[in-house]
Structure 1
Amino acid sequence: MSEKNATNRLNSYVDGKKLVLERVFDAPRELVFKTFSEPEHLANWWGPTGWKTENKTFDFKPGGVWHFCMTCEDKKQKNFYGQKSWGKVTYHEIIVPEKIVYTDAFSDEEGNVSPDAPKQFITMNFEEQSGKTKLIIQNQFETEKALKAVIEMGLEEGMSSQFNELDEYLKQVI
């Protein structure tokens, strides 16, 4: 496998009620962290290919909330075209530029969390690796059934696509 392919590959594994995702980005840790911690960066890459993100609120601090909407703008995605997906993140712990801990949930336009959709308790660790950044994401679910449901919804494929968007964005801002 080439160095470039090794960098761009999303690795994942399941451990009980936890899905662990690992990905290396060809950018410094401080910059990768900023792309997750500053709203102007997030709006430029968050979401899978063909989706645009709009930030309704963004308060990056423990107890703060990021409320956003992703809209599919890609007509090739047929049934998804025009679909909106609202999300709400509540931050719990932030250590710049090393760690972000938060709860992620589907919501409605007003920010009311969907009681039917699985919630994720997420810990993101940003590790410096000779000018590159290894991102390790631990997605903890309430039950193994909830984890399985999210995997079946395409979480891993969506994250892989989303991280490809981040790769492209990082090339623009380096």
Structure 2
Amino acid sequence: MSQHNLYIDNKLVISRDFKAPKNLVYKALSEADRFEQWWGPSGFTTHVSTFDFRPEGICHYCLESPDGATMWGRFVFKEILPNRKIEFLNCFSDENAGVIRAPFSETWPLEMFNIITLEENNGTTVLTFIIAPYNASDTEIKTFGENHENMELGFKGTLDRLEDYLLKN
């Protein structure tokens, strides 16, 4: 899957070190009850509707903002190598897991391809997140490229939440 319709030149790469064993980081990514404790922007609550962690399985979730506004998202898992790599397509969705446009942009790619890798060295796990537009138009690819900084800020909040979760578990 990694090679198909993946715009490598326009990818966003985010890497973070966690003082936690790789198997705990993997569990936080692969188990619904753990995932909903940290996924999403800072201040948001995550509610998992479906979490079928297997190739072609779906994670369907709702993010609730502090003011009560909701946004739905969906992952379709593609390749899973336990404790090493998770590949998935993600998108904004409706309550029924159908693909919808991002609420903030008419030119945001409908789907994104994601690769998460985990590497452990002396009790520290390096999580690397690679995100790229998938089956996107030139305009969507351009919009994605122009928003790397905003995405980095958003993922910083999400990964801060993951770090807090890992320190408590």
For normalisation by structure 1, the TM-score amounts to 0.82
Q: In 2, are the aligned partners of 1:19 and 1:147 still within 8 Å (CA)?
A: no
Q: Which amino acid is 2:41 matched to?
A: P
8 Å contact 1:22–1:137 — kept in the other structure?
A: yes
Contact in 2 for aligned 1:24/1:134 (Cα 8 Å): yes
**Residues 90 and 150 of structure 1, relative CA distance in 2, 3 Å threshold:** farther
1:145 deviation in Å?
1.2
The answer to whether the 8 Å contact 1:67/1:88 transfers is yes
1:1-150 → structure 2 map (5 Å cutoff) = 16-73=9-66, 81-115=67-101, 117-118=108-109, 119-141=111-133, 142=136, 143=138, 144-148=141-145, 150=147
1:156 equivalent in alignment to 2:152: yes
Higher helix share: 1
2:114 alignment partner AA = I
Cα distance in 1 for residues equivalent to 2:148 and 2:120: 28
Change (3 A) 1:84 1:151: farther
Greater CA drift, 162-171 or 136-145: 136-145
Q: Secondary structure at the match of 2:159?
A: helix
Q: Show structure 2 runs of 5+ residues with no match.
A: 1-7
Question: Cα distance, 1:17 vs. partner?
Answer: 1.7
* Alpha-carbon distance, 1:130 to partner: 1.0
**Secondary structure of the structure 2 residue equivalent to 1:63:** coil
Q: Distance in 1 between matches of 2:118 and 2:9?
A: 23
Aligned length: 152
CA displacement at 1:51 relative to structure 2: 0.1
Question: RMSD between aligned alpha carbons?
Answer: 1.8
Q: Following the alignment from structure 2 to structure 1, what is the Cα–Cα distance between the partners of residues 146 and 51?
A: 28
* AA in 1 matched with 2:159: F
**Amino-acid identity (%):** 34
Unaligned runs of 5+ in 1: 1-14, 74-80
Shift of 1:151: 3.1
Q: Which consecutive segments of 4 or more residues in structure 1 shift more than 2 A?
A: 148-152
Task: Please give the alpha-carbon distance, in whole angstroms, between the structure 2 residues aligned to 1:151 and 1:55.
Answer: 26
Distance 1:16 1:102 in 2: 19
TM-score computed with the length of structure 2 as normaliser: 0.84
Residue 100 of structure 2 aligns with an amino acid whose one-letter code is: S
> Is the alpha carbon distance of 1:94 and 1:170 closer, same or farther for their aligned partners in structure 2, counting shifts above 3 Å?
same
Given that 1:124 and 1:138 are in contact with CA atoms closer than 8 Å, whether structure 2 keeps it comes out as: yes
